[in-house]
Structure 1
Amino acid sequence: MLKPESEEQLAEMVRSANGPLSVRGGGTRHVPGDGEALTTSGLTGITLYEPGALTLVARAGTPMAVVEKALAKEGQRLPFEPMDHRALLGTKGTPTIGGAVAMNVSGPRRVQAGACRDSLIGVRFVDGEGTVIKNGGRVMKNVTGYDLVKLVAGARGSLGVLSEVSFKVLPSAATSVSLLIEGLDVTRAVACMSMALASPYEVNGAAHVPVGLDGTPVTMIRIEGLEGSVTYRAAKLQALLSSFGTVVVERRSGREGGLGVEAGWAWIRDVKAFEGTDGDVWRVSARPSHAPDIVARAGAEAALLDWGGGLVWLRLPEGTDLRARLGDFGGHATRVRGTGPGALPPEPDALATLTSGIRARFDPRGLFNPMTGV
């Protein structure tokens, strides 16, 4: 396995490559490609952190835990709530900040704070010719070339190998509460979450579990901020959602037999409901209003809704062709656990042509991860 420890070494390894490279960060996900493994795990360290400017710069292989610990010391956090799917996927390794960018990971706070790419303000990466490319900035007031920064986020290492990433960060919340409504079916749950998200009460999490820890459906709404503001907004939202049933306000410590706010949202973020189970796991992005129909048509063994219904996690028997079951549903279905071809959604012809042209520009030798496969 190739393991560069500097950007210069990385560039030289890419220039010297005689065949495909399978690019990976900390090895926590199934990565497509049969080429020689190249890991960024040797490119570590926070190179710039200015809490007052809300900016952080780190080498791509820096463990996520290192980044989060540094931020926590200053009462700050990454806005996009990166998940840890190692248990779900049955993998080991160490999640890295570069891997988060490559996959554009986005947890429950995406409904308010946006995706990983929305917090990304700069990147450095090595393209398929071994050229180091810098785009964006290291502080928010000096951001240029933003479109290329966004292009690299979510490209799964298909355009180049990340060496450094720059982020805007945000203060951590002083208080966090969840509003819980039990017993709703998927249709009513989506209506409830939509009402909460459309309210002026700054909801930053909205999820629904058709089968909760005690077997009862539970809908979860999260509010964060200063103590007085959270208390006020939670009371207002509790009244607003009362037509859907009894609304219980849960604080950080949680209720007897429950997970508590922090653990509960980590449970949603990491799709822990599917851990230790058999079968394929699919991630479906669509309009929240389409979620009830998607769950019904999928015939899944288990489901979980996040982003107010805009993200649907489904567990299905191994080898199930989910796209055939759903037909044209106006969204994207990605298999995140399972084997065989077709893990990524097919691209329309026009988009495929554009993608091919972009890849040819950044990776003319075809060294890096394909955007198809497992």
Structure 2
Amino acid sequence: MKKFLFIFLLYSLNCFATSSFNEEVVKKQIAKMLIVGFDKTSIDNFSQIAKDIKKYELAGVILFDKNLEDKTKPKNIKSFAQVKQLTKDLQSLVPYKLLIAIDQEGGKVQRLKKIYGFKETKSAKEVAKLPINKVNEEYKNLALQLSDLGINLNFAPVVDLAINPNNEVITKLDRAYSKDANETVKYAKLLIKEQRKKHIISVLKHFPGHGSSLKDSHKGFVDISNTWSKYELKPYEKLIKQCKIDMIMTAHVFNKNLDENYPATLSYNVNTKLLREKLGFKGVIISDDLQMKAISKHYSLNKTVSLAINSGVNILLFGNQLAKYKTSDIINTIYEELLKGNISYERILVSNRLIKSISK
């Protein structure tokens, strides 16, 4: 009887809270949890991304060079001067610090390429072969270039371990420093240090470890249940203790030993119980792109956003490369799930506080 009354009380409080929501305010709070991609190399007040940023006050945007829909056209990146003007125009839309993000790991994963006139960065595997003074120089140049361009968030360093030599998305692309956790931490710290000097947010990825996987989560379901080991948590554990880590990106990998039902991005067991409670992470958790096939082929947008937010994810990433979603549709979907009681409003408030703390 007591249990029934407790559940009824919680339900009543939730109904009261949702019925008293100010829709405009809440939708802006939801938007503060979104980083989205868009198809423009320049913007004006009539551009959809400009309208969305001003109307909803989005957390940020992500920049890409390749336009996967039309490979004859660039997506956001053509030249140094063009990108610098684009980021300036984006930031001018709002009075707060807009998160302007990019994947500039180095090697095969970098959006700022030599063919556009940028100074390229070596891959993690190549960096790990350099003397420390050369590593510092490499990462100093990377951070300086991002800062000069007005980019303040880099989805790097990768701290996946090069465990599986046949791993097509990490090891074969030279994205891992080493199979050794201590070596990985050593080089990751150097990148974090140089980016921090230039007020660039570093993002560790891909939690809880993608280095032992056999498949690519861009393309579909990835099961690491039989290949993953707790050793893959070591870089996160050490860096959380040794550095002030601002942000960690989740992986779309499934591990039945951590969660029998959901991949890491949608897992409360992984994001809250493991990363928050066991490893003690206090910063922002960001999803990998939620339009990747590992998620989009198996979950509706409604289910994806509700599971991700309730699992402990603070920022939802929609790159709008592999699929297209209107920003308004994403926000409205989250708002609807909130009204239905499928998303905890407290999760949204907590996320807003965390995101504000790293966006100063």
TM-score normalised by L of structure 2: 0.30
**Structure with more helix by fraction:** 2
Larger Rg: 1
Relative to the length of structure 1, the TM-score reads 0.29
Question: Which structure dedicates a bigger proportion of its chain to strand?
Answer: 1
